[in-house]
Amino acid sequence: MDEHEITNRLAITNLDFDSVNLSTIFRIFESVIGPSIVRISLFGTERSQQYAIAEFTDKRHAKDAYDSIDGLEIEATGNIFDLSFVPADFKGDTLLDDCSNPCGYENTNKANKRCSMDESLDTII
């Protein structure tokens, strides 16, 4: 990756934004790089073409986030982060949603809520 390609913004593509909300994405980035993420914005008019842009305080934090998060799956949901740097002069499409430091965040993974364990350690042994 060329140093000139690195900016303070990352595009987040190929996620199902109906099942993974911006607050969850914000908290994932924040847990990896700390409070240097400024906001995440969701763009696109058609569901199949939606993408988010994460904005950081500087290029170094964006690069750290890219190195740490690109290719990771979100909680066994089948959603895998596909990150790329956004050119400084890029203007997004139609803004659909925006998130910066969400208050009252509660992580909800629908898959985990549907599971029930009927066995205990005593019944297995």
Give Cα 52 to chain centroid, integer Å.
8
CATH of residue 117's domain is 3.30.70.330
Q: What is the pLDDT of residues 102-116, one digit of tens each?
A: 555 454 555 544 555
C-beta separation of 36 from 26 below 8 A: no
Q: What is the pLDDT of residues 56-89, one digit of tens each?
A: 999 999 999 999 999 999 988 899 999 999 998 8
Residue 69: which residues within 8 A CB-CB, separation 6 or more? 28, 29, 32, 81, 83
pTM listed for this prediction: 0.75
Q: Which domain holds residue 40?
A: 3-124
The number of domains in the chain is 1
